[in-house]
Every structure is written in C-alpha cells, then in structure tokens.
Amino acid sequence: MIVIVDYGLGNLFSVRNAFKLLGVEVIVSSKPNDIKNAERLILPGVGAFGDGMNNLKAKGLDEVIIEEVSANKKPFLGICLGLQLLADIGFEYGENKGLGLISGNVRKLEVESRGLKVPHIGWNNVSYIKESPLFKGIKPDSDFYFVHSYQLICGDKENLVATAQYGETITAAIQKNNIFASQFHPEKSQENGLKLLENFVNWKP
C-alpha cells in the first residue's frame, strides 16, 4: 500500500493521478494508522514551511512519519515542500523546526539581485551528482518542472544527488538510505516524472 500523506497542503490529486497513469493504486490519507500500515510513503506539498509543519503536528502526523521513515525504514518520497520539511530548520517567515530527517536548512532563493524572478517557475535541466535508482532510465540533464521560492541547503553533501541551475545551484534531489525527495514536481514533469515515480514504486532501498 502506497499512502500519499494529506496534511492540507499540496497537489494531492495530481500526484495520485500520475500514479493512476502508471496503473498503481495509492491512498490519500491523513490517518496515522494508514501511515503505519503503508508500505511506501509520499509527502507532497505546496506552501510555506511553517504552515506545513504546523499542519503535520496538528494532525499528529509528524511523529508517525519520523517513526515509519527513520525507525521502520519505509521507502519515502518527498516532493517540493515535502522535501523541505525533511530539514532541521526552515527560514520561511521566521524560523521553524522541521522533521530533522535530513541535515540542513531551508532558505530563500538568492537570485533576485541577478534579475531573476522568485518564485522559480518552469522547466529546468537536472544534473546528476551521483547515481540514484530513482533516476534509472532517465537521461542526464533531463528537464523537470519546478515551482518554488525556497531550497534545501544540505548539511551533509553526501545526501545531494542532483542539482539545477537558476542564478545559483539549486538542490534538485536528495537521497539518504530509504529517503528520496525532489524539489521539482515529478507529477508535473511528463515522461521523465512518470519514470521517476515508477522507479519509486519498484525501489528496494
């Protein structure tokens, strides 16, 4: 059972529809018991870091996610805000503590002085820093779709698996053991994104 975590922020149904295109059944749920019973977890997200953490805590989902991902080693996919919430701290509208599953902090893109707009919206080439099973069958420097104003600055560079360029080097994807997360939206990235989601379904970390 694959569970897409519903915490009130995110493009839940576009993620679910992408899996439908692959013929894969998923459940959208905000119930802690569903997360405990899941074989794989997906944390999508669109919105602010603090709101995301507050919603997870209000629904009692933060601790169960940490338990299932960290202790029980379930394959986990974070998308956009779902990547950022893995960090220790986020600096969006103040300082907020994250899930602490990935060392690092989340800060605003520093590109406006270069004449670039924030948020960063659109297609960008993604460069692989190291091999990942989730990029299997996807050519290097392939395009993925981004929508974000903040990015994760990895505390441990070993977790960084892919970057993009938008006035600065952007953390495009990270991986640590059973955790994989992307700043881009695979569900909006057409063929390349569907391949990544298919790879997640088959991933055995």
Token pair in block for residue 183 = 């700043």
Q: 89-90 and 104-108: which strand pairing?
A: parallel
- Which among 68, 120, 154, 187 is annotated as catalytic? 187
Burial label, 45 (beta-carbon count in 10 A; 0-12, 13-18, 19+): buried
80 is catalytic: yes
187 is catalytic: yes
Which residue is listed with tokens 């995301």? 52
Largest CA distance in the chain: 48
Q: What is the DSSP letter of 185?
A: B
Asked if 167 and 109 touch (Cβ cutoff 8 Å), the reply is yes
The contacts of residue 6 (CB under 8 Å, 6+ apart) are 12, 28, 29, 30
- Which among 68, 80, 148, 198 is annotated as catalytic? 80
- Which among 68, 148, 185, 198 is annotated as catalytic? 185
Amino acid code (one letter) for 108: K
Burial label, 39 (beta-carbon count in 10 A; 0-12, 13-18, 19+): exposed
What values do phi and psi take at 22, rounded to 5? -85, -5
Which residue is listed with tokens 């915490």? 7
Q: Which residues are catalytic?
A: 80, 185, 187
